[in-house]
Structure 1
Amino acid sequence: MAGAGENSHGCENNSDLEEDRCSENDFGTSELGTKEYWEETYQKELETFKDIGDVGEIWFGEESMSRVLQWMDEAKINENAAILDIGTGNGAFLVELAKHGYKNLTGMDYSPASVELARNVLEAEGLTDVSVKEMDFLNCEGQLKGFDVCIDKGTFDAISLNPDNTEDGKKMYVQCLKDALKDGGFFSITSCNWTKEQLLERFGEGFEFVQELPTPSFKFGGKTGNSVAALIFKTIH
């Protein structure tokens, strides 16, 4: 399991200084935006888990999970709230959510190896009542609905890096998110490719900004900035 430090694996743009805030076209596409890359990655992690029981890398590190869980505590998210982990990867966040007392959990990922890995990890933890679906979030065709909370740690980043139909994919993501959430539902996003201002613009229609979660800062050239943005939104219809 990855250490507790902030992990920006897969990030194409790690500068968040005021003068260096990137436009939507400042970073290019990447293999990190392809299904083939993630299938290969999670197939290796699945084999490692079966060999030695290591769940693999935690996207953005354990601190990223802790800050979202702390917000959920402060927001008094009910233990029976329907929660969707978008792009669940190895299922590590589902495990933490379950250990934190949340009972109505769903994870989804378009990588078959990721889904198998997440199911294996959950089973090893005795969490057999957590649902994990093999599904492309952008092509879920109305199968994801009625969630109180949707959580994204890096999936929107990956979609933004897809070499094919990048802009369409970003627009589809926003619409699919609206469809998945209940009216008044919450959306938590952690990103290393997009700044706070860019995320506020991208999710400006149909969502209300609730708060920014604290992330580690760094200093460069006498300026202070953050390599990761973590925001909470609420749906408004």
Structure 2
Amino acid sequence: MEDTTEDSHGCGNATHSEGERCSDNDFGTSKLGTKEYWEEAYQRELETFKDIGDVGEIWFGEESMRRVLRWMDKAKIPENAAILDIGTGNGAFLVELAKHGYNNLTGIDYSPASVKLARSVLQAEGLTDITVKEVDFLNSQGDLKEFDVCIDKGTFDAISLNPDDTKQDKKLYVQTLKEALKDKGFFAITSCNWTKEQLLERFSEGFEFVQELPTPSFQFGGKKGNSVAALVFMKVHEHVTD
């Protein structure tokens, strides 16, 4: 049975635990959806890492990483599978994936400070054969291809909060994801802004729902729910008709 305690931080704000409720319906834009916010945040974390070796916040907490790793074990994802960490942040998940035996890892982030931080963290762990690139997922222009697994912990959430053209960006995200994954490749997403039902609808075209990963639940007013949605999809081949 999955341990539903979360050790660290939730989405939208580094001070929230994953057990706290985030908006799951229509929600406004936020500075958390801007590149400037993340560049400043990762610049601070980079300086802290240089000073005291602290890698900084782990998005959704360490349990969120273990949850995905448990699914990968059960799904028998091979160690040489091409894995993309979308919005890698401080690279903490890349470290865990490598420690778990995965050896074909790529992390991307649109924040230059994030890339510097992730590379520094990986180097400190002696993991020099992991690729970390400064790439805006929405503007990758076809450079991301042939991945077996794509993992997102909060990046789609941040894109959804962007004050500029968020509706188009969400559509572009889905299209870019299709281009990045091989047919029958897997996509694991963790979100606190979107419910399971909303994610199923968002990724209904070109993807098949595989399973929901257990997340902490809460009870309010006699109803039970989850503060975080963690789902796995598989890319399916789309038949183009005239």
State the TM-score, normalizing by the size of structure 2.
0.91
* Pairing 1:1-237 to 2, within 5 Å after superposition: 4-5=6-7, 7-10=9-12, 15=21, 22=25, 26-237=26-237
Against the structure 1 CA distance between its residues 136 and 21, is the aligned structure 2 distance closer, same or farther, given a 3 Å change threshold?
A: closer
Q: Please tell me whether the aligned partners of residues 86 and 108 of structure 2 are also in contact (alpha carbons under 8 angstroms).
A: yes
Q: Deviations over 1:81-132 (max 9, x none)?
A: 0000000000000000000000000000000000000000000000000000
Q: How many residues are matched?
A: 228
Cα root mean square deviation, aligned: 1.6
Q: Report the Cα distance in structure 2 between the residues aligned to 1:211 and 1:38, rounded to whole angstroms.
A: 31
By how many angstroms is 1:222 displaced?
A: 2.5
1:134-171 superposed Cα distances (whole Å, 9 cap, x missing partner): 01000001110000000000000000000001000000
Structure 1 CA distance, aligned partners of 2:196 and 2:133?
30
| Secondary structure class of the residue paired with 1:116 | helix
Matched-pair contact (CA < 8 Å) for 1:153–1:189: yes
For the residue of structure 1 that corresponds to 2:58, the secondary structure is coil
Which residue type is aligned with residue 64 of structure 1? S
CA distance in 1, matches of 2:146, 2:12: 30
CA apart distance, 1:220: 1.9
Structure 1, unmatched stretches of 5+, are none
Contact 1:6 1:64 in 2 (8 A): no
Contact 1:42 1:113 in 2 (8 A): yes
| Structure 1 ranges of 4+ moved more than 3 A | none
Structure 2 residue runs of 5 or longer lacking an equivalent are: 238-242
TM-score, structure 1 normalization: 0.93
SS state of the match for residue 230, structure 2? strand
Q: Secondary structure at the match of 1:44?
A: helix
Distance 1:46 1:156 in 2: 23
On the 8 A contact 2:191/2:228 being kept in 1, the answer is yes
Question: What one-letter code is carried by the residue in structure 2 that aligns with 1:36?
Answer: E
For residues 203 and 7 of structure 1, what CA distance do their matches in structure 2 show?
A: 26
1:15 positional shift:
4.4
Q: Are the aligned partners of 2:151 and 2:189 in contact in 1 as well (CA < 8 Å)?
A: yes
1:51-90 per-position Cα deviation (integer Å, ceiling 9, x unaligned):
0000000000000000000000000000000000000000
Please say if residues 147 and 182 of structure 1, whose CA atoms lie closer than 8 Å, have aligned partners that are also in contact.
Answer: yes
Conserved 8 A contact 1:10-1:32:
yes
Separation of aligned partners in 1, 2:63 and 2:111: 25
Q: Secondary structure at the match of 1:7?
A: coil
Q: Is the 8 A contact 2:11 2:192 kept in 1?
A: no
Q: Identity percentage over the alignment?
A: 78
Correspondence for 2:240: none
Query: Contact between 1:15 and 1:225, CA under 8 Å: does it hold in 2?
Result: no
User: Which secondary structure state, in structure 2, belongs to the residue aligned with residue 151 of structure 1?
Assistant: strand
Q: Compute the displacement of 1:9 (Å).
A: 3.4
Paired with 1:6 and 1:67, the residues of 2 have a C-alpha distance of 14
